[in-house]
Structure 1
Amino acid sequence: MDPQSYRSWQRIDPSGGPAQRYLVNDRGEAVYLVDPGINGTHRVRPDGSPVTKFDAPKATLMSYIIKGILSHKLPWALVLLGVMIAITLEMSGIPSLAFAVGVYLPLASSSPIFVGGMIRFLIDRWLRKHKFHAHDLTHDELVAEGDKSSGVLLASGYIAGGALAGIVIAIMAGLPSLASTNERLAAWATAHNPFFNGPHADLLALIPFVALCVLLYLVGRDLLLAPRPAKFRA
């Protein structure tokens, strides 16, 4: 560990080096480059050891906007074009926010969202044709009933579980004391876990994903984990 104290300096002009944050000494000399663990660009330390970095598409988008505003180089033509596209979508009855999310998210992130949307569509159609067929409900009332279904609760649990798992993974990757543990886990998974590494790892990873989708559909249809009817005492 370096016992010296440094000041933080944010380089804006990329002409003299990467436009990133640096730690400078009392003489104003840049000593260290601060490369964040999320959306970082350097994946190898100067000594050759690897560094685990995590991607955050939304944070990347916001960083582009902030850097463009601070450097007075924001491409306003593209921003105004996006505004006009959003207005056109809203006038056409298409949610512009959902469209924008699908545009800037990578395919690996937007594909599961699309699959989840299709499951919600199938469940809502079943609710409309069977469960609430005898009820004269409006579209908004049907949407409200769908929002109260067990499938929405399970999907919320999926989101919370994914967020917690991401935090645990980030903590394990960020703590130097757990570096050896991570290496042993990675070595074991590479050697013994076909879902983690191997010629068919990507295809095998679809098995738990499909299982989660089927479980979500069955719960949304009240075929599994259906809520018990309320009992009233006289």
Structure 2
Amino acid sequence: MPDIVGYKPENPILASFRSFIPPRARLRELTPLPLIIGTLLGMVFGASSLYLVLKVGLTVSASIPVAVISITIFRVLSKLGLRDSTVLENNIVQTAGSAGESIAFGLGVTMPAIMILGFDLEITRVMLVAILGGLIGILMMIPLRRALIVQQHG
């Protein structure tokens, strides 16, 4: 199967898939407001995730709560007359918030193991683990793109 955007899969159900946003549509996506809101929500949910993982040993996914809060914040801003948001801006907020929670979880399970091994918790070591964990997560999605996006949605 070619790895081409717009390629139609052989499965008739998948071939009939229509994108929610037409390819020619020009909508706001990566603007400062969604990045700021996503960062703030990522910090809040990251802190709660870190607390949960250190206290209980597990956490919950923040994707759906962040998405609901994002829609609510943008709706309130719209009612105040500031501006309407697009579904792509909501997606940016949800992704940023979920990434913050995921990285905090990764740190919460990795740092105690590093301490058990006898290493100190230096800020450079913590930052390095967080950055490398995020990069590995992004790089692991590159080979999965074909199976999860191209073959599923064309």
TM-score over 0.5 for the pair: no
Task: Provide TM-score, normalisation by structure 2.
Answer: 0.36
Relative to its length, the structure with more strand (as a share) is 1
> Whose radius of gyration is greater, 1 or 2?
1
Larger relative contact order (Cα-Cα within 8 Å, sequence gap ≥ 6)? 2
Structure with the higher fraction of residues in helix conformation: 2
